[in-house]
Structure 1
């Protein structure tokens, strides 16, 4: 039952369940438990990274979506909602906070006066561009125990899982 690289806490839990309930297949706990632990580690590391730049994960997500959109760095709130997989209320709160900090603006669309466009400001672009290298270094550090081949395989398996769950984000 030893995992490559040694045993972890989930191995102990699985061994205990195997002893106490040998009639049950507890192998799903091995996957879900490790995903949960990895998510917690990623969250803590990202939170610290973003805090160094005066951001949080939701703010980073919005700024990154706008930056990835390319010039003029604009998206509608609906497109941002799809990208961030959040409700309209949640995106409104994120946009309010970012606008208060001067990192985005919200204006009526010139093409359609009924629509609103969210635009990344120069300050927002500078904040994102300043945080992005640090964020990528944090992610590299989190994955340093895996080879390039391991990372590629893990990414593929996680993609298959998300597709099977039907939870991949739709393209904006």
Structure 2
């Protein structure tokens, strides 16, 4: 017999009160929501250990994933982080102040700007991703690798419609 959790208790109570409703969606999505809160807390802790805010990690991670020389246009950063132009400008300004990125003129377009990660930015984002992966591995520690792969596949299937 599997152990019950808070979602089981909530669904059982609703099922008693409203037996006319199929609460199967709550069985899945309430757990996803609760797990999301745990993941969010874990990520904040991992990033804080590297002296980064979540939004700082998002921008630096986009630059790091771009590969050497770790630079992107503000437009490319917008596309990867899904924030407004004004928000991105503010974020870049704050990262420049912290000396985690620099603004440079695009050598291929003298009117364009590139955001370039500094060595300090790279050190911090590398530490943060290492901490994040360790934290998330711990969160998934109760699942075998096969179960993790199966869950990943199911979540991918569910999320494909939302990514468009």
In the alignment, the residues of structure 1 paired with residue 86 and residue 159 of structure 2 have an alpha-carbon distance, to the nearest angstrom, of 25
Q: Secondary structure of the residue that 1:72 maps to in structure 2?
A: coil
What is the aligned residue count? 164
Find 1:129's aligned residue among 126, 138, 150: 126
Asked if 1:29 corresponds to 2:26, the answer is yes
* 1:72 equivalenced with 2:40 (yes/no): no
Instruction: Name the counterpart of 2:115.
Output: 118
Q: Quick one: which of 144, 148, 163 aligns to 2:145? A: 148
- Local SS of the residue matching 1:115: strand
Which secondary structure state, in structure 1, belongs to the residue aligned with residue 111 of structure 2?
Answer: coil
1:117 to partner: Cα distance: 0.9
Q: Equivalents in 2 of 1:107, 1:62: separation in Å? A: 16
Distance in 2 separating the partners of 1:97 and 1:164: 34
Q: Which of 11, 20, 24 lines up with 2:17 in the alignment?
A: 20
TM-score by length of 2: 0.93
Aligned to 2:79: 82
Q: 1:99 deviation in Å?
A: 1.0
1:129-148: per-residue Cα shift (whole Å, max 9, x none)? 22222121011111111110
Distance 1:151 1:111 in 2: 44
3-state SS in 2 of match to 1:114: strand
RMSD over equivalenced CA pairs, Å: 1.4
- TM-score, structure 1 length as denominator? 0.89
Structure 2: distance between partners of 1:22 and 1:77: 53
Cα distance, 1:33 vs structure 2: 0.8
Q: How far off its partner does 1:90 sit?
A: 2.5
